């Protein structure tokens, strides 16, 4: 597994992919939070609060994480190296986990520089340091779990096709459905009193919950379960492909 993980990290940073992902994420966040006027601009809001960043990030990651993960398995299929990997003395689960952790580590590396935002907003506050640290830490934890879910979805999407474009589009679609789809459907009131239950199936519900700074075991169970579900689906899909050969 460590060999697979090391290979993934090297592949990201031996090309422009890793640097481009980190740079794009920081650039887009910086422009929306401090340059472009609008609802996400922290300076225009008049509040020393990082809520706009944590509201914006899930939508950026919906496109960014599938873009990172789209080649993890799809490229192996396209180049014909998947057959070689499947004959190696390594289990499918370890193969998938190595690919998954490679994507997740790259996303974490993109998030780490945003800690500078915490110090910036803390200094801008009146009085200085007027920042809800508990909610901020909870939001960062929620963002890491959300990235973990998106990465698992992206890996699963990459296992479905040998085309990176198809894998990317599937990843974006599934991430959107899992993040906002359930909440959007629940807001239509079609399901009446069951709307709350339906909303709780979405990532957004648990992301917002943990962002309040309160660690609820139900949120943790949800995130770990969703990650495991998509990684398991990836294993099943690769297992079926292996058997067909």
Task: Choose between 118 and 231: higher pLDDT.
Answer: 231
In 10 A of CB 31, how many CB atoms? 12
Question: Lowest-confidence range among 85-94, 110-119, 171-180?
Answer: 85-94
Kindly state the percentage of the chain with pLDDT values over 70.
91
Tokens matching residue 56? 């914006």
Rounded CA-CA distance 68/9 in Å is: 11
Q: Compute the Cα dihedral for 40, 123, 107, 13 and give only its sign.
A: positive
Report the pLDDT value the prediction gives residue 79, as an integer from 0 to 100. Answer: 79
Q: Given this model, what pLDDT does residue 193 score?
A: 65
Q: What average pLDDT score do residues 62-87 get?
A: 83
pTM over 0.85: yes
Give the pLDDT confidence of 185-244 residue by residue, as tens digits.
Answer: 777 767 666 677 788 889 999 999 998 878 889 999 999 999 999 999 999 998 887 666
């Amino acid at each position: 597994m460590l060999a697979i993980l090391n290979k993934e990290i090297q592949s990201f940073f031996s090309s422009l992919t890793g640097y481009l992902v980190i740079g794009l994420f920081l650039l887009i966040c910086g422009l929306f939070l401090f340059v472009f006027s609008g609802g996400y601009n922290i300076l225009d809001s008049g509040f020393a609060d990082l809520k706009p960043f944590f509201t914006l990030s899930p939508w950026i990651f919906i496109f960014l994480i599938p873009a990172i993960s789209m080649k993890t398995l799809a490229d192996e299929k396209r180049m014909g190296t998947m057959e070689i990997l499947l004959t190696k003395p390594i289990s499918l689960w370890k193969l998938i986990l190595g690919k998954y952790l490679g994507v997740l580590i790259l996303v974490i590396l993109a998030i780490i520089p945003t800690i500078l935002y915490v110090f910036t907003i803390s200094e801008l506050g009146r009085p200085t340091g007027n920042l809800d640290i508990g909610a901020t830490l909870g939001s960062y934890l929620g963002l890491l779990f959300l990235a973990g879910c998106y990465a698992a979805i992206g890996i699963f999407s990459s296992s479905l096709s040998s085309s990176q474009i198809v894998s990317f589009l599937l990843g974006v679609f599934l991430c959107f459905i899992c993040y906002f789809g359930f909440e959007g459907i629940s807001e239509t009131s079609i399901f009446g009193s069951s709307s709350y239950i339906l909303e709780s199936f979405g990532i957004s519900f648990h992301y917002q919950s943990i962002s309040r700074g309160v660690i609820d075991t139900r949120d943790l169970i949800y995130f770990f379960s969703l990650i495991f579900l998509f990684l398991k689906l990836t294993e099943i899909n690769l297992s079926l492909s292996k058997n067909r050969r």
